[in-house]
Chains A and B, each alone.
Chain A
């Protein structure tokens, strides 16, 4: 983008927002159809994640103007979210351990 530094929201044509709006509708319909057609297993989970990431990306990049924001701000906001993924990994391991304990020792709380 050439107008990074001189970002002025009025430069974006309204059409851009209608296009993104339309895509968000299409993607939401797709994720709803995943459930409607009872897709199962890895296909289901990968499709849910795919549509989720695409929708989140469109909202953040276009509606929240992140695509035109100063790079320092973009990194300052997006990088810390990586910590959430680390937290998820830790809790997946923890949950597996808890489930194993509960399965091996059914009587215990």
Chain B
């Protein structure tokens, strides 16, 4: 990577000693995250801001659930799926969880193959990630349809506290939107990888700049974040 050439020995010494290295980085000239590219640093900062957005949704859900005097609908029963007369609690949600985790696995491998410059493998793995992501959104659409048919609305539901519906639609809807945008960007980056843009130095349509395989890693950061958010939604909304 190009950033490596920017390092020098003093840099290395600073890095080796914990908090002192952080103080040195932050008090140094021009750039704090020395060998981290601006693209990666900005994606992380965006993800931090997105963490706050999702935190606000989950905290407002917590506040609604803790402060209501009406019983909260039991998610284990609400999200149960009936197959052949037997009712499985949270079955669809469990499948969605496994699908999203698998998509994270394929994404992590796509990043790895990208840096190995095996562009076809990387692109295929990214497209597999996109397919799994689309499957996730499809299952979520199925779940929404099922709940709406059962009478769940943002202002009421048949089982208890009316805030259940608004929390559910807000949290899963915002997450599903993230997955959808992730799928779109995955396809866009996979196309660039497959065409060999990052090998030939072809300039981007919007940016007119040459890209590199770090784009795959930055795309991966976003995708893993979407998976990460689902871990928290699964724990706090579905299991709690």
Contacts and interface: CB of A to CB of B under 8 A. Distances in A.
Given A14-B112, A63-B224, A28 B98 contact: yes
Contacts of A12: 112
Interface of A: 4-10, 12, 14, 17-18, 20-21, 24-25, 28, 31-32, 34-36, 38, 45, 48-49, 51-52, 55-56, 59-60, 62-65, 69-73, 75-77, 80-81, 83-84, 87-88, 91-92, 94-96, 98-99, 102-103, 106
B4 A87 contact: no
A85 B23 CA distance: 25
Contacts of B232: 52, 56
B94 interface: yes
B135 interface: no
B12 interface: yes
Interface stretch (B44-52, B165-173, B180-188, B200-208): B44-52
Contacts of B11: 5
A22 B208 CA distance: 40
B32 A24 contact: no
Interface string B43-71: 01101100110010001001100111100
Interface of B: 1, 4, 7, 11-12, 15, 18, 21-22, 25-26, 32-36, 41, 44-45, 47-48, 51-52, 55, 59, 62-63, 66-69, 76, 89-90, 94, 97-98, 101-102, 104-105, 107-109, 111-112, 114-116, 217, 220-221, 224-225, 227-228, 231-232, 234-235, 238-240
Contact of A36 (B44, B67, B89, B235): B89
A64 B224 contact: yes
B104 A24 contact: yes
Nearest to B60: A91
B167 to A, nearest CB: 14
A52 B231 contact: yes
A73 B44 contact: yes
A102 B63 CA distance: 14
A22 to B, nearest CB: 9
Given A9-B217, A31-B239, A25 B15 contact: no
Given A5-B11, A17-B109, A59-B104, A99 B69 contact: yes
